Amino acid sequence: MKPGPLSLLTVLTLTISQLLIAAAFAGDDAGKSGLDFNRGYDVNTVATVTGRVVSVPRPGDGEHAFVELRSGNETLNLFVGPVPHWERNGIPLQPNDEISARGSKAQGKDGKSYLLTRTLENRTTGRQVDLRNERGEAAWNGAIMRPMHPERPSGGQRHQGGMMRGGGGMMRR
């Protein structure tokens, strides 16, 4: 049976209203931080945070890799680069590991606090990774990294990440 114009009108009205109501409840900023994770960085908001890992990036989480960190009463989302980059060059992290991160802090439109991480150190394992240079240029965008801590008592530096595509590099120690 062919649907009549009234049936089509009813379906159209209900669909539009559902979309509008969904938009009202979701809000235009829902799930979106509005931050420029790949190129964004502000030296004014640079800070160091320490705390314990709540959750670690998992394969299939999406485009961006985040480490959730509990620092005092605050929960921070540490942006540690695109997922493929982190999977190739990241350091092992486990929930409840004590970590220290330095980077540019920001608050997203979703109300969450983020840190666009420059360096990340897992104090539990002693491993550290540099994700950006001092100007905040990201390793995955081809920024050439210089060793931040050329000498460490725990055995010096070793390159594991190698040169990145496009000339970028990342230091893991």
Partner 1 sequence: MTKPLLYSAAIILSAILLWFVLANYRAAAPLAEENLRGSALSLAAAVESMARRDPTLDSLSTFQPPDVAFFALIDRQGRYRFHTNPDLIGSAAQGEIPRPGAHEAAMHLERRVVLGTGEKAYEFILPLHLPDEDLLLRLTLHTYRADAVVRRARFTLTLLLSLLATSWGLAVIILRLAAREERNRRELAQREGLARLGEMGAALAHEIRNPLAGIKGFAQWIEKRPADERNAMHAGRIVAEARRLEGLVNDLLSYARNDELRQTPIAAGELVSQALDLIRDEAKGLGVAIREVCPDGLVINGNRDRLHQLLLNLSRNALQAMPEGGELRVALRKGAGGIELSVGDSGEGIPAELVARLFEPFYTTKPRGTGLGLALCRKIAEEHGGMISVESAPGKGSVFTLTLPEA
Residues making contact with partner 1 (CB under 8 A): 6, 9-10, 12-14, 16-17, 20-21, 23-25, 27-29, 34-36, 40-47, 104-109, 111, 114, 116, 136
Give whichever of 11 and 163 is closer to partner 1, judged by the CB atom: 11
What radius of gyration do the chain's Cα atoms show?
21
Nearest partner of 114 among 61, 159, 71, judged by Cα: 71
Give whichever of 1 and 6 is closer to partner 1, judged by the CB atom: 6
Give whichever of 23 and 163 is closer to partner 1, judged by the CB atom: 23
- Distance CA(34)–CA(24), nearest Å, equals 18
Considering the complex, what minimum distance in angstroms separates the CB of residue 79 from partner 1? 10
Considering the complex, what minimum distance in angstroms separates the CB of residue 172 from partner 1? 23
Strand partners, 163: 169
Beta carbons of 103 and 46 less than 8 angstroms apart: yes
Q: Helices H, strands E: what count in the chain?
A: 2, 7
Considering the complex, what minimum distance in angstroms separates the CB of residue 83 from partner 1? 19
